[in-house]
Amino acid sequence: MKQRMDKAMRTAHLLRINSYMDIAIISMWTASPRAGVIIGMVEASLKGKGPGGEDEELLEKLRDLVREGREHHREGNFPPAMARMRVAHDKIALHLIHLSNE
């Protein structure tokens, strides 16, 4: 029962991050003036360890990608900024699919 609850918490945490990434990517595509703020929301959701600490390797990769995406976005380099965010988004989606099969 506890293992099932831990898995549910991990999934919920990753889905929240995934949702923030969706919003950030859409904001970037639409050139919203708030895109930087929303990317900051993604970064904030990646701080600290995830529930149970089992997803730490993924979270570290996501932190790096989002940080790079934010830097490129800040510099006005849209293609590499979007590439980093899309790779991060895909990584979390694939991880969620894998988690659902455990």
pTM score of the predicted model = 0.91
> Into how many domains does the chain fold?
1
**Band of pLDDT at residue 63, cut at 50, 70 and 90:** very high
pLDDT digits (tens, 9 = 90+) for 64-100: 999 999 999 999 999 999 999 999 999 999 999 999 8
Three-state secondary-structure class, residue 54: coil
Give 10-35 as a DSSP string. HHHHHHHHHHHHHHHHHHHHTT-TTH
The residue range of the domain holding 49 is 2-100
**Band of pLDDT at residue 3, cut at 50, 70 and 90:** low
CATH of the domain at 54: 1.20.120
